[in-house]
Structure 1
């Protein structure tokens, strides 16, 4: 099938991150995907193997290729009328990611296809939520009553954490690849060296180095409070800083604490596959947004999620629902401790004095994170469900 996936980049990288993963996963499964994106700049580091060309692509438009089955196209080219690009037809499936409406000119192409008796499957891929309404809303059809799309209909596809939802993005070989690529200390060290992390001063006793933490956050994260606690509890910890807010906030702290022994390392922007490996190599992952949150789940390591803050405060309920799903069967003491940190990291509660034990492989936090991951992995992944979803008439 030919898929048209539409993505608008709002203010961070989560939208394009999810859409790129979905497009790649579909392409690896033999599908043909056109990813229409209004701001493809993040793909320069997220997928640096892509090659842009201004010469005609297979559909008569400039685009980027380099990923099997996937072509990246500019949103503005989907806005051109059919008379300008007569070779461009609507695909078999049209996915609007997170409620972004395809351009009217493209919807007209969908109408032309429907008039020929071959309507495209129109899917609204929604944001991830663990709230109860997801199960009620997943798969619902929404007829279009007015405008250029009148007479067509779309269906809602909700990612989620239960069998009554659309599941989570997970490539078929992800868990096995994690073990094969970073299952040993030597392989983890080799990867960290490859991305520029200095391991030359590592102590001979691996238990003495204090552990590795990945820090990826929004600008509201209480980074200074976290580093204060780490400086006392794990003074030799290695903190890997993603570009942007994490690097800026940690650098401010370091200037105010010139004698601290925490090892702060600034990372370059990384392709998605290397970001996944980074999660696999870290003992504790602090992540933000939807795409990184899901990848942290699959890493099976202790993690803390920084949810995107919303002005009306509804993110607090979303965070609580997510914690309830993820930590549902954890021991009460661990659950309470990790819950307190997730709330504090999102400025929804006071920050505890110390983190639960996260540095060793046999800690309760690590074991329960791995168990929760394995439980989720028994659920069918999002792409497999989406393929079945669009193959049915609904």
Structure 2
């Protein structure tokens, strides 16, 4: 009999939380044969990620996953073998009471946000006894074998390599988006938060000798692009200034977003899901980390860079670090971008090396299943 798992997701940051849990749920079904219910409190966010989904449905089936509306007033339901509380969302009180009465009690996991900070390894897998008698375990994604690893489908890297060697597939994908880059054009994808320093980078690209085609999925960065261009942007719009072409893309599925990352020379990403997928793309990247009060995000950024820059020459590592920090601070990006370009071949090789290094570790879904097995 299949083990049953519930995953709870409260959508906080647009589509990031829903994206991670939807990806995890599908992998648990497809690769581990589990019976999975995904409870989401904002199905409109899920519907953007899953073509064909109904934002008004109480329950629906997609790719083997039972996707359920997390109701405001909780009704009784069958208690599963394992429960994942994603990103510190709070389970319904009546649900935890039912967990307490259930025999055997389900494994309760608090799946936390991804972090490269050192303390994560020490907290991963630790129990957290609750006042009602239940025990919850902390489960941290991460970049070392002392954490839960990263979300990665079993064949992901092989699929990416096959796509990279299939020029016809690449052309067909870009054609489907209406993207027609010129010969020898640099392709850049930009999925980012607002950035007051964006114009300084766009100026450099517009005056570059090599043409750049910037692909921008609709999102929060559009306002800054519009101000620089001096004209309105909408899905399907293409604007050209000097050597820079800016094209706004529609919101795409997770599968299409992977192909977009694989098609580009440089990817700017935000949030957790796109951050991880950009690493699996094996391409140079920039992570626009979510800004927090009192610069609380900077230690998280530096912790990742300390790992990611390992293996790069000091000048190349400094160039990448300067660009990431400059972008995060909303500062002038002209000099740091030019500095990065001076080390481009090395940074390209390093991105693929980092991808393969991380792919050698146990993926997050497998680590969760192993943790469950060890708890029995």
User: 2-side partners of 1:12 and 1:53: how far apart?
Assistant: 18
Which structure 2 residues correspond to residues 145-184 of structure 1 after superposition, within 5 A?
145=131, 150-184=132-166
Q: What's the TM-score once normalised by structure 2's chain length?
A: 0.91
Unmatched tracts of structure 1, length 5 or more: 55-61, 83-87
2:4 match: 2
CA shift digits 1:252-273 (9 cap, x unpaired): 2112797534111110000001
CA contact (8 A) 1:345 1:351 kept: yes
Q: Which of 318, 325, 339 is the aligned partner of 2:300?
A: 318
Unmatched tracts of structure 2, length 5 or more: 232-238
Tell me the CA shift for residue 293 of structure 1: 0.7
Residue 296 (structure 2) pairs with residue 293 (structure 1):
no
CA contact (8 A) 1:316 1:348 kept: no
2:121 match: 135
CA shift digits 1:229-268 (9 cap, x unpaired): 2112256210001112222321221127975341111100
Residue 95 (structure 2) pairs with residue 106 (structure 1):
yes
- My pick for the range that moved more, 322-331 or 243-252, is 243-252
CA contact (8 A) 1:358 1:365 kept: no
CA contact (8 A) 1:358 1:366 kept: no
Q: What's the TM-score once normalised by structure 1's chain length?
A: 0.87
Tell me the CA shift for residue 107 of structure 1: 1.1
Q: How many residues matched? A: 365
Residue 62 (structure 2) pairs with residue 66 (structure 1):
yes
Which structure 2 residues correspond to residues 1-394 of structure 1 after superposition, within 5 A?
1-29=3-31, 30-50=33-53, 54=57, 62-68=58-64, 70-76=65-71, 79-82=73-76, 88-113=77-102, 116=103, 118-145=104-131, 150-199=132-181, 202=182, 206-207=183-184, 209=185, 211-220=186-195, 222-234=197-209, 236-255=211-230, 259-347=241-329, 351-353=333-335, 354-356=337-339, 363-393=345-375
CA shift digits 1:1-33 (9 cap, x unpaired): 111100011132211111111111111121111
CA shift digits 1:104-162 (9 cap, x unpaired): 1211221221xx3x1100000011000000010000000001xxxx0001000001111
Tell me the CA shift for residue 39 of structure 1: 0.4
User: 2-side partners of 1:300 and 1:221: how far apart?
Assistant: 28
CA contact (8 A) 2:28 2:36 kept: yes
CA contact (8 A) 2:11 2:42 kept: yes
CA contact (8 A) 1:158 1:165 kept: yes
- My pick for the range that moved more, 229-238 or 351-360, is 351-360
User: 2-side partners of 1:11 and 1:167: how far apart?
Assistant: 22
CA contact (8 A) 2:37 2:67 kept: yes
When the two chains are superposed, the root-mean-square deviation of aligned CA atoms in Å is 2.2
CA contact (8 A) 1:288 1:306 kept: yes
